Structure 1
Amino acid sequence: MLNAIIVDDEEFARSSLYFLIQQNCQEIQVVGIAKSVSEARNLLTQHSVDLIFLDIAMPGENGFELIPQVQQSNANVIFTTAYDQYALKAIKANALDYLLKPIDIDELKEAVGKAVKYSTFNKVENNRNESLKNLANDLQDSQAVKKITLPSSQGFRLIDIDDIVHIEADSNYSIFNLINLEKIVVAKVLKDYEEILPENRFVRVHKSSIVNLKFVKEYNSKNGLQVVLNNGEIIIVSRRRASDFFDKIKAYTNFQREI
């Protein structure tokens, strides 16, 4: 049983989420409900909290301003948000999980299941706190997400996006190929990471491949269009994605010349 609090400035959002949890998440006990970050801080001092359902856009202080107190506790955070596109990318990259409003029951169950699983692994605490720091930093930086959180069977790994050479699809899994030749298999589809990673750097060149333009050595049409990476790997570029690839490699090359 995990102790949870709900933090949201909207009464309907608070009550509806509480009802959904009561009806569908028997492993969660809601020990407090707050309508502001200030009230949430008080709840964190009064209760042992394992999980926080945290809204973002609230008057006064937004949800991110609770992060310093969260880092001092042992709580995981599930963001509940209808936030703008950039912030959503940062949340996807670094949060334990997020729920878009209106909240879907199946997505709620999946997020809670992840929280229950992660809570059993004390070793993820430092990584979780670091991921929250990354989230705060990314949201202050209007340029791009810098690190990404990859879930694993025992918690999650924090990866610098500059270390990602390319990502390949394998059914409902994504395989991250890193600069140190390590491969990390993640139980998420490629499209999830296409939406998270900076689109000016990471290009979907095929239904089964995303490449980091930083590691593109050359491209040619010897056997159909293909790109050759710095590590010698050859990635096929599909015809329907070729135009987008050319536009982005040109923009990326021009940007590198300017700096």
Structure 2
Amino acid sequence: MAKKNEGQLWELRKSTIHNQGMFAAADIESGTRIIQYVGEKISKKESTRRALAWEASARTKGEGLVYIFDLNKRFDLDGNVPNNPAKYVNHSCDPNCEAVNYDGEIWIVALRDIKAGDELGFDYGYDIQHFMDHPCRCGSKNCIGYIVAQEFWPKLKKLLKNKKKAEKVGRKAARDAAPEEAVPVRKKKSASKKTTAKKSTATKAVSKKAAVKKTPVSKSPAKKSVVKKSAVKKTAAKKVASKKTPARKKKTAGKKA
């Protein structure tokens, strides 16, 4: 059931992207501050500790709840609190909103005119590190398949192209190394030779079956083409929220769109 208060611009309901989502409850003009993103103010050290703990949990459970934004040079904002419905705004590769830091307050702001009933979404702006941990299901026409900041899309496209090429080479190597199927040999029937003998029945020469010598095909192990992951220093990459510029959500194994 949709959750909405009178006069507010948004409502919560089931999303096809990820569990719950936030939807426009009325037409919204571009530039409108829709909802404030609130949460617990924490130190950078605590922010990193929580982010890495949630990332580890997400890798085992397949689900993460990370809603941390960079607030300023000293503090971050953890939005994983009960009174923060803004945490349900999902990621989109074609966002109609953005997160903006106005003097220490993070707001979800309309990037363009939004029609009532449209789901709200903004670019989570995750770093390209561990991109495969963050598949995207936003469903937009230009969805790149992973939750990665648009500034990294050219690099991501190149990585995906190389990955696809490596997989193709691996499949070919596996096929080449597989044993060939023995082609069944049709047995040649030789015509029986009839010899006439006086007062004796015709003797039939027994046709000899030539034994087909099968050469065993040597079975060599298929070579696997491994796509190598470049080692990345394990730190919680954060999204930067600069003053009156798009706030960037902290990158970890967080909520997946």
Fold match (TM-score > 0.5): no
Task: Give the alignment's TM-score, normalised by structure 2.
Answer: 0.26
Q: Larger relative CO (CA 8 A, sep 6+): 1 or 2?
A: 2
Larger proportion of strand: 1
